Amino acid sequence: MTRAIISFDTELSAGLYQRGADARANFESSILGRCRDGDYGVHFQMDMLERHGLTGVYFVDPMPALVYGPEIIDRIVQPIVARGHEVQLHIHTEWLEFARFNPIGRLTGRNIGDFPLGAQKKLIGLARDILVGAGAPKPTAFRAGNFGANDDTLRALASLGFRFDSSFNGAYRDHGCAISLDPGNLAVRAHEGICEVPVSGLMDRVGRFRPAQLCAMSEEEMRDALEHSAASGAIQFSAFSHSFELLSRDRAVPNGLAIARMEALCHAVAEDKRVTSGGFATLPAPPARPRPIGVPAAKPLRTLRRIIEQGVGHVVHEVRYVRDLIAVTVNSSRWGKVLGGVFLAVA
């Protein structure tokens, strides 16, 4: 059966830290997905997965422990483990710029692949130890932040005893991802001493790969990509999201479109008899000579439908933002009440 790996890059925001967010505010926004309408982060995602009988994979970034302290990683990891979902290792090296202690001296960089092999080994080893110290089982899989890994990253992982990497994303090829594999092959395969589990996807136009990400694919595209993997007899179908991705871009309100897409993906996985849910802990290794799994071809009308869908979603969000702004104005001035009343009556 094809293993559907639904994963979430689970990370605090270095951008929010730079804008002055303390540990609590960053945790609430980035991990809990908290907005004025409620929480739509990790716990909301686990609730949805469990309603469909599915197991999720949470790639947790421990690097913020170098800034906020290790307790914040404990708060991320322990509820996930307690509910039976899988925790694996993620790393955003941007945090080194703000760290109280830099384990590799003065070196900093946006991506793990920006560092020499020895530094990569040290960073990944430290991040693994923080993750285990927070209560996670010893990780067997890794994903680079920004998908910014290279072949040295895989060599470092192999030397540290990891079995799988999931940093290869065809959409990031030449945009941070420097793993030397063919982006036209979505099969799990051995490379540099480790099993590479690429992000699934399809072509949304000639020469352009669209990854299986909630905010990137429509429900139709996600179903087509899942169908292709199952029909091809692939070991895995790998879809991903983020701990905060069910919020709008400004994180002010829920992203109804992304929530509907996740619900549809969970339903499709649960209903397909050729597909099972799970993570990396029991994922089988590929055969010595795995059969290539091609990328589904582009369908212009399907792409157009998604572009229209996302465009409408952005418009709806902007209208809601303006309505809320006017509602505040209505309560603050006499003229605001007059103009706001007219707009709200029309909108």
For residue 247, CA distances in Å to 37, 41, 181, 217, 241 come to 10, 8, 33, 16, 11
Q: Quick one: CA torsion of 169, 39, 25, 62, rounded to 10 degrees? A: -40
Average pLDDT, integer, range 265-285: 96
Average pLDDT, integer, range 28-49: 98
pLDDT score recorded for residue 310: 81
pLDDT score recorded for residue 330: 52
DSSP-derived 3-state class of residue 89: strand
Q: Which of 29-33, 83-87, 102-106, 340-344 has the lowest mean pLDDT?
A: 340-344
Token pair listed for 180: 């030397």
CATH tag for 2-298 (out of 3.50.50.60, 3.20.20.370, 2.60.40.10, 1.10.3720.10): 3.20.20.370
DSSP-derived 3-state class of residue 201: strand
Give the span between the Cα atoms of 325 and 341, in whole angstroms.
12
Q: Which residue has the higher pLDDT, 204 or 321?
A: 204
pLDDT in tens, 316-335: 655 554 555 455 455 555 55
For residue 50, CA distances in Å to 62, 78, 212, 258 come to 25, 17, 21, 18
Amino acid at the residue 269: V
Q: Are 43 and 80 in contact (CB under 8 A)?
A: no
Task: Kindly report the pTM of this predicted structure.
Answer: 0.90
pLDDT in tens, 40-85: 999 999 999 999 999 999 999 999 999 999 999 999 999 999 999 9
Name the residue ranges covered by the structural domains of the chain.
2-298, 312-346
Q: Which of 126-135, 219-228, 306-315, 327-336 has the lowest mean pLDDT?
A: 327-336
Backbone phi, then psi, for 87, in 5-degree steps?
-110, 125
Average pLDDT, integer, range 309-320: 69
